[in-house]
Structure 1
């Protein structure tokens, strides 16, 4: 058995604005590796993260594996080893960058034994005027926008799947592991806002992740158009 770690980390290396550079690097490091790595150079972060991953793997599994191996005989030994082989991948990239909006995407995969690994994807929508992540409260007005968004998401999902009712979606598996509610895992682009739901958020593993895109025209009554225009200076309608 063994552990395998692959990291493809995207980060800024130069900018005329040092404060912007430092703030972006801090955000990216926290979301890819954790707050304990803030303040270190990117190369050192990756190396230390790898060292910690390997160290934890050995500490967590070595004694148990050796005992398990001792208790097995013949062909069973190879089967035992397979359950102790772990792997992890971290891949990050700039998905979108225009004017004052930067969208940073983080994909992770981790296998820790069992039937299958877990793939997860997360997004950071960053307002470059203050280097802060954008949240739904920054983009939508009025307190009741979440209920409206939830209805819009269900309606768009029906359109995407070419069905006429929520019941048909539920029969397909949607909503079986959680509620379809607008969360903070979304990304912006020129066309609209896309909500990204990882496996188990509201669908079983076999269905994979779900993306639901709401064009700006469908959310124009609840979205803060001034904020969107300030970010990217788009003409939306």
Structure 2
């Protein structure tokens, strides 16, 4: 091989290597965040009788205790508390929120005692316990904690009588530079919804191994024309992860639908000044 050909060969290999690098996950430094967790496992039998139906509450709540910007820790904790327990608990500390939520759950269950006693008296020997046996299990998991972004998912499962329980997953992203939650509007350009919806539907079809997206409607999904981005997303080094919960786009039997989109797939819809731009571009 001549020197000229060798030089061309080296240049070609270099170009191919650089091109391949554009699709590899970007390395990011871990954030300096310290976490703690609070666990609860409480049960109560109706009328305080161990022979009666009971409720069971299990909580495994993880929350940040320290971040680089100490002034933001309260705001970030409020996001964790709101996402896990709801708006009614955001003014409490993490410990207080867990205690208050536990108290409220047990109080609400005890409110069933009058109805239970009335039905038990009427039913005599007929079992009615199943309809009064409640449970709730929840936890949250840190899914990404790098490069100024903190992502976590709240997992929730409960049963309050009826045919079956419910399961849900809620994703959240916090911009540690501002201490605020990251929204779809910050991530995507204007009028992104229709284009992103098509990408999501195509990805769901691929996951279910069908080429015609309409075939999803024969697999338990509702109208594919009504599947749109729902704001329930998180990110990592490889892409964006969307979750559609039970009954949101499909029947209960289908369960939750999790969709991973690579940054290459959504790059044309992303804002270059967004909080996740350093991962996308």
Fold shared by both chains (TM-score > 0.5)? yes
For the aligned residue pairs, the C-alpha RMSD in angstroms reads 1.8
* TM-score, scaled to structure 1: 0.90
1:159-201, Cα deviation, whole Å (9 max, x unpaired):
2222110221111122259921111101111111121000100
Q: Per the alignment, in what secondary structure is the counterpart of residue 114 of structure 1?
A: coil
**1: CA distance, partners of 2:211 / 2:141:** 37
Equivalent positions of 1:31-70 (< 5 A) are: 31-59=83-111, 61-70=112-121
Q: Which runs of 5+ in 2 are unaligned?
A: 1-52
CA 1:18–1:39 in 2, change beyond 3 Å: closer, same or farther?
Answer: farther
Q: Per the alignment, in what secondary structure is the counterpart of residue 227 of structure 2?
A: coil
Give 1:154's aligned residue: 201
Looking at CA atoms only, which structure, 1 or 2, has the larger radius of gyration? 2
CA shift, 1:142, in A, is: 2.5
Q: Which runs of 5+ in 1 are unaligned?
A: none
**1: CA distance, partners of 2:272 / 2:89:** 36
Answer whether contact 2:148 2:177 (CA < 8 A) is retained. Answer: yes
Q: 1:90 is matched with which residue: 138, 157, 172?
A: 138
Answer whether contact 1:150 1:180 (CA < 8 A) is retained. Answer: yes
Answer whether contact 2:189 2:269 (CA < 8 A) is retained. Answer: yes
Give 2:247's aligned residue: 200
Q: Per the alignment, in what secondary structure is the counterpart of residue 56 of structure 1?
A: helix
* TM-score, scaled to structure 2: 0.77
Answer whether contact 2:213 2:224 (CA < 8 A) is retained. Answer: no
CA shift, 1:49, in A, is: 1.1
Size of the aligned set, in residue pairs, is 229
Give 1:181's aligned residue: 228
CA 1:16–1:217 in 2, change beyond 3 Å: closer, same or farther?
Answer: closer
Runs of 4+ in structure 1 over 4 Å off = none
Give 2:256's aligned residue: 209
